[in-house]
Amino acid sequence: MSTWSLRFAVPRQPTDFAAVLATLRRHRVRFVLVGGVAAVVEGAPIATFDLDVVPDRDARNIDRLEEALSALRAHYRERPDLGPTAEALRGPGHHLLMTRHGPLDVLGVVGKDRDFRALLPHARRRVLGDARVWVLDLETQIAIKQELNSAKDRAVIPILQATLDQRRRRRP
């Protein structure tokens, strides 16, 4: 009989999603909220530990994002001595950050190269705390997870699909 353990990173303190979002909004950063928090906002009963955003990578917005990340004391999770630069944030890569309020993933693109401009038509304005933010719709979240096809994404697709189906049945 073999034994095994499941290991995953759980933040030492709960993420204060509202504080992170408020800081991004205070700095007038344009972004689409994606990932677990976006799914929860759209009604899916899932848990998540981090906040995922896809920012507009236009030069002025990246400058504002860099200022917001500085205010959040953001640094790479695997490199606490290193913070993201405007140059790095302009690219399509993923920046897995830790802030003073918890984990924040700043994603240049998601799925098959879907950036801010590609996601925006599939996002809805939602009020979260004191901020109005763009939140990616469930249909597009499901499509992206199908594109990525990771074990983690495959596990959550049925929950997102059931939430979407339930929402559609409620509409007249």
Domain count, the chain: 1
pLDDT at 129: 79
Q: Determine, yes or no, domain membership for 170.
A: no
Residue 114 CA, chain-centre distance (Å), reads: 13
Query: pLDDT (tens digit, 9 = 90+) per residue, 136-150?
Result: 999 999 999 999 999
Q: Distances from the Cα of 160 to the Cαs of 47, 138, 151, in angstroms?
A: 12, 7, 15
Domain, as residue range, for 122: 17-137
Query: pLDDT (tens digit, 9 = 90+) per residue, 24-52?
Result: 999 999 999 999 999 999 999 999 889 99
Pair 102, 51: CB distance under 8 Å: yes
Residue 147 CA, chain-centre distance (Å), reads: 17
> What are residue 94's DSSP bridge partners?
107
What value does the mean pLDDT of the chain take?
90
Q: Determine, yes or no, domain membership for 108.
A: yes
Alpha helices for the chain (secondary structure H):
17-26, 35-41, 59-71, 86-89, 116-119, 138-148, 151-170
Q: What is the DSSP letter of 111?
A: T
Q: Determine, yes or no, domain membership for 79.
A: yes
> How many helices (H) and strands (E) would you count in the chain?
7, 7
Residues of the chain with pLDDT under 50: 1-11
